[in-house]
Amino acid sequence: MQKRKLGSLETSALGLGCMGMTHAYTPVIDEQASIKTLARAVELGVTLFDTAEVYGPFTNEELVGKGLKPYRDKVLIATKFGFTIGDEAKAARPSGVDSRPDHVRQVAEASLKRLGVEVIDLLYQHRVDPDVPIEETVGAMAELVKEGKVRALGLSEASAATLKRAHAVHPIAAIQSEYSLWTRDPEENGVLDTCRELGIGFVPFSPLGRGALTGALKNLDGLAENDFRRGLPRFQGENFDANLALVHLLEEMAAKKDVSAGQLALAWVLAQGDFIVPIPGTTKIANLEKNIAAADIDLSAQELAELGDLLAPSKVKGERYPESMAKMANK
């Protein structure tokens, strides 16, 4: 697979988001199936694997660490900290954020143990803590780098201004935010431009619109009652119907190119810059293989423009998060 850079880290052009193996979408956790998917990803050249302490919580890091243990010298493991995790997190909906310096060290040490590794390749702050200056948080993260417990630092869902402040304290290798054909916030809020300016990698999560852009989700009947998407505005009522009509157009365009809708959507994201490394998630090897094949799709300037217009932000109905989650994003 093609290689790309996230700051000082070299990685495959596509990574694997592991959240869905234990969290948000999965009604029944199939550890052995997930381990096989991890192994197949490595076999196909994927080197970046993304997890977080809050996924589960905690169980995702344990699964990823177990599944990647035989390949540790071939892969980069990224994990994230920053949510408040207590009894309320048993419902997988943390109530707040915590990026105090002493907490940063505490959760990093715990993640190292759960992953079963001596160093975390890429440590992200999962959400910016409005009560703690980013300089203090990144300073604490930088201490972990000096101690050899972390290789590189990242932020998630941070604003361009916060990213610049963080980078001034210690080089930020990557910032992670939602980005896809139907979510263009990083284009509009200056984050992508800041990445280009400072040489920071950009890692889009949900590059397939949480599965919507694959065309496989025709209705919500097959989703588990506790599926995360049931609470997202874009997947509800008239919003979902209107967005599904846009996905039908994407499918039609993909058919003309003899690829799947999901592959076309991923190819568009990859074409937005060589500093971009999407991390589509899946628990199924067949879907993994389709996603990886998207890295070999070439799109003309005209095709890119047509795709960009097809699912332009003005056409997509509904916010990406409900208000309770949206307020955690740094603006």
Peptide bond into 94 cis (omega under 30): no
Q: State the alpha helices, DSSP H only, in 226-274.
A: 237-256, 261-270
Q: What residues does 155 pair with on adjacent strands?
A: 125, 175
Q: Which amino acid is at 33?
A: A
For residue 129, tell me if it sits in a domain: yes
Secondary structure letter of residue 38 according to DSSP: H
Residue 131 sits at φ, ψ, to 5 deg, of -95, -5
Output the pLDDT for position 25: 64
Output the pLDDT for position 227: 80
Q: What is the pTM of this model?
A: 0.94
Q: What letters, b where the CB count within 10 A reaches 16 and e where it falls short, cover 294-317?
A: bbebebeeebeeebeebbeeeebb
For residue 97, tell me if it sits in a domain: yes
Q: What angle do CA 190, 18, 133 make, to 5 degrees?
A: 40
Q: How many distinct structural domains can be found in the chain? A: 1
Secondary structure letter of residue 281 according to DSSP: B
Q: Which are the catalytic amino acids?
A: 55
For residue 177, tell me if it sits in a domain: yes
Q: What CATH number does the domain containing 88 carry?
A: 3.20.20.100
Domain containing 321 equals 3-326
- The token duo for 39 is 């192994």
Which stretches in the chain have pLDDT values below 50? Answer: 88-92
> pLDDT tens, 55-82?
989 999 999 999 999 999 999 999 999 9
Output the pLDDT for position 90: 47
* Beta-carbon contacts of residue 299 (< 8 Å; ≥ 6 apart): 267, 268, 271, 307
Q: Which amino acid is at 230?
A: R
Q: With contact defined as beta carbons under 8 Å apart, do 138 and 170 qualify?
A: yes
CA 321 – CA 290 distance, rounded (Å): 27
- The token duo for 93 is 């909906």
Q: With contact defined as beta carbons under 8 Å apart, do 11 and 4 qualify?
A: yes
E strand spans, the chain: 3-6, 9-12, 16-17, 48-50, 76-81, 120-125, 150-156, 172-178, 201-205
- The token duo for 18 is 């592991």
For residue 331, tell me if it sits in a domain: no
Q: Which amino acid is at 183?
A: T
For residue 276, tell me if it sits in a domain: yes
CA 279 – CA 266 distance, rounded (Å): 10
For residue 299, tell me if it sits in a domain: yes
CA distances from 89 to 53, 100, 235, 246 (A): 11, 19, 23, 35
For residue 199, tell me if it sits in a domain: yes
